[in-house]
A and B are shown apart, each in its own frame.
Chain A
Amino acid sequence: MANVPAELKYAKSHEWVRLAGEVATIGITDHAQHELTDVVFVELPEVGRQVKAGESCAVVESVKTASDIYSPVGGEVIETNKAAVDNPALVNTEPYQSGWLFKLRLAAPAELDALLSAEKYQAQISAG
C-alpha cells in the first residue's frame, strides 16, 4: 500500500505539495515512484523560472521511460534539490523527504484549493 501523508496536498498527476508560509515544496508521490521504479535521472527547472499550475517543468527518468512532472501550483522556482540530481534513487527511497524536487514561491495560494486531499488522492490510486 502506497504511503499518502495526511498533511500534504496532491495533484491527479501524482505530485505532492507541502506548504510552509508561501513556499511550496513539490515532489512525486510514493505511488508514482513505485510505478516508475528505479529512478536514474532527474531534470529540474532553473531557479527563477516562473511556472504555471499544470505546466510540465521537470523530468524524472526510470530505466525504461522519461516521465514529465507537472507543477501542481504556479509560482517562481526558488530552489531545486541538488541531492536528488546527484542521487536520483532518493526519489524512490524517500519521495516525501530527501527525494523532493523543487520549491516555489506561490503566485496564487488559492490554487491549492484545486488540489486533492490525502483521502481523495488515496481514493484515486486505489481505484487504479
Chain B
Amino acid sequence: MMRTPLYAAHVRLGGKLIEFGGWEMPVQYTSIMDEHQAVRQAAGLFDISHMGEILASGPAAKTFLNQALTNDVGRLSPGLGQYTLLCNELGGVIDDLYLYCLAEEEYLLIVNASRISTDQARLNSLLAQFTENSGVRLENISTNTGAVAVQGPAVAGFIGDCFPGPARKGAAVKGPVDLKKNQIAEFQCHDVSVWVSRTGYTGEDGFEIVAPARGIEAIWNRLLEAGAPHGLKPAGLGSRDTLRTEVCYPLYGHELDEQTTPIEAGLGFFVSFDKGDFRGGEVLARQKAEGPKRRLVAFKMTEKAAPPRPHYGIWSPGAAGRKIGEVCSGTQSPSLGVGIGMGYVPVEFARTQTIIEIEARGRRAAAIVVPRPIYRKPN
C-alpha cells in the first residue's frame, strides 16, 4: 500500500488507518461524528496528499486543455480555478478534477488518486493527436507533491498566520484570506513555495494547500498549532465522505464513472457548449438537448431506517414497486440525524418530492427526493 508524506503524522495522532484506492489513509482520529462537527462548526485538517497533480504548460496548453476538458478554460485567468471533467468520446467521465491557471501558459490539474495513471494516459493520447503538440508540456508531479485541506468556518481566522503574504504568484492578494472562492495564489511557508486555493470538498469555507512533499509535514504541524485555539482538529476520510455527501459533491467511482455522463450527474453547469469542440462534446450536447434517461438524485429517509449504503437498491414505492436504481453514496447525516444518499433513477422519478424506497437487508424504507445540496448551512 502507498503512504503519503503525512503517514508518520497520522500514526502519531492515533489515526485509524484503512486502505483507500491503494493508499493507507486515516479514516478517523477520534470519531467521524466529532470530526464532521468540527468542520461544520470550527475547523478540520485533512491529508489529501494521495490526490494527483499534473502540470500542463506551454503556449498551446490552454487550447489543448479546452479540447480535453468540459469546462471553458477561457474563463480562467492567472490565479483562478474551476471544477471540470475529463470525458471519453461518449461523454463518459474519466475523471472529475480541479483546473487552476497558475500563470499565463501554466496550468495545474488536481485529479483523483485512483485515476492518476488513467488520466495521464488519456491526456498523453490526446496530446499525441493534438496538432500543436510541441506547444504543450505535461508533467505528473504527484509523487513529489503533498496536499492538505483545511476546512471550516473558523479557518479564515488563522490561515494567515501560517502563510504570510503577499502572494508571489497567482491571484494578487495580500494574504490567503483575501482569496475569493476558486482563487489560488503562491505563498512562502518554511522556505518552501506553496499554492493555496480557496476551495474544498466539505461545503464549508476553507482552503486547499499544495506543496512539495518534503515540506508538507511542517505545514500540517503549523496549521494544527495555529488552528488548535480555533477548534481545529485533524479529520479523516470518514468525515470527508459524510461532509461531501451532505452537500452532494460527487465522488469518482460512486457517482461518476466512464459509463456516466456529466449531464446525468447534474454537472451540466461545468460543461461549456459555446467554447468550441471538446472530447465527448457531441454526445453531451445531444444528451442535453434530448434530456438524459436517468438522473442523479439526492434523497433523505423519511422513516427510521438503516442508513443507506452504496449498492442498496432504490425502488419505486408501494406493493407494486420495482427496482429503479442503486444507491451510489449513502450515510447517516451527522448534521441532520437522518439517512441520506444519492443514486441514479429514471427521469420520471427524479423530480424533488418524489417518494422512493431504499432497500436495506431485504427491507424497504421510504425516502424522498430532495433538492441538492441535502444540507445547507443555516444563515
Q: Which residues from chain A sit less than 8 Å from chain B, CB to CB?
A: 37-38, 40-41, 43, 59, 61-64, 66
Contacts and interface: CB of A to CB of B under 8 A. Distances in A.
Interface of B: 27-28, 31-33, 36, 238, 242, 305-307, 309, 331-332, 334, 361
Contact of B332 (A37, A41, A43, A59): A41
Given A38-B31, A38-B33, A63 B306 contact: no
Contacts of B361: 43, 59
Dominant secondary structure at the B interface = mixed
Contacts of B307: 40-41, 61, 63, 66
6 contacts: A38-B32, A63-B32, A63-B36, A63-B331, A64-B32, A66-B307
B365 to A, nearest CB: 11
A59 B32 CA distance: 19
Contacts, number: 38
A43 B365 CA distance: 13
Contacts of B36: 63
Given A41-B332, A59-B361, A61-B332, A66 B309 contact: yes
A44 B238 CA distance: 26
Contacts of B242: 63
A62 to B, nearest CB: 8
Nearest to B360: A66
Given A38-B31, A38-B33, A41-B306, 4 more contacts: A37-B33, A40-B307, A59-B306, A61-B332
A101 to B, nearest CB: 15
A40 B31 CA distance: 13
B332 A40 contact: yes
A41 to B, nearest CB: 5
Contacts of A41: 305-307, 332
